[in-house]
Amino acid sequence: MEGGNVASVQPAESSAIKSPEDEPMETFDHPAEYWLACIGFAVGFGNIWRFPFMCYKMGGACFLIPYGISLFLIAMPMYLVETLFGQLIAMKIPNRYASIMPAFWGISLTQAFVCFFTNIYYICLMAWSFSYFFASFQNPLPWTVKSDEQKAADEENLRKARASGDQTAIDRAMFGKEWNPAYFH
């Protein structure tokens, strides 16, 4: 456009457009917040529900030996390396491992996938917990309701247990009369 006034286009201020790398990292306000977040992430349903069951089933203390070895020689060192590495480099996760070697960018992607699938697992467990919690307000309890065939089978099992004289079998048969394990399947 010769001879005419052409309005010049001014570039936008550089502070208006920010990339994710320019944003400051989020930090905890107090060290207690950090430790509570670490404990909350590390202690899951497996430690609360599954571990006591496995201790009982596998013989108690003999299960604690490999658990303690794994905890102190594998889990805690990996946890410390992860947190110390994050504090040392002070980068966001997508750039953290790539700063060591560009081919390591996949580790960050793997962490995201593991976190995603772990969340799905915990959401399912929480849904079951809520379901059983609200079902526990019904009268009679849904896991105590049995069909006539189930009741007859329970009576037969109790009769056989009493005939054998085995107190453990009697206790199991009595417990079997009280609730319906088929409700949970």
Render pLDDT for 81-102 as a digit per residue (tens, 0 to 9): 777 777 787 777 777 788 888 8
Alpha carbon distances (Å) from 20 to 91, 92, 184: 11, 9, 47
**Are the beta carbons of 107 and 115 closer than 8 angstroms?**
no
The pLDDT value given to residue 6: 47
- Which amino acid makes up residue 28? F
Single pTM value for the model: 0.48
Per-residue burial over 87-125, b if 16 or more Cβ lie within 10 Å, else e, is eeeeeeeeebbbeeeeeeeeeeeeeeeeeeeeeeeeeee
pLDDT digits (tens, 9 = 90+) for 56-75: 777 777 777 787 788 788 87
Round the average pLDDT of the chain to a whole number and report it: 77
Distance from chain centroid for Cα 130: 16
Q: What is the pLDDT of residue 120?
A: 92
pLDDT of the residue at 8: 46
Rounded to an integer, what distance in angstroms lies between the CA atom of residue 98 and that of residue 85? Answer: 13
- Contact by Cβ (8 Å): 40, 28: no
Q: pLDDT digit string (tens) for 159-170?
A: 888 898 888 888
Q: For the chain, give the percent of residues with pLDDT over 70.
A: 79
Greatest Cα-to-Cα distance within the chain, rounded to the nearest angstrom? 113
Residue 125: pLDDT over 70: yes
| Alpha carbon distance 23, 99 (integer Å) | 18
What are the distances in angstroms from CA 17 to CA 23, 136, 140? 11, 54, 62
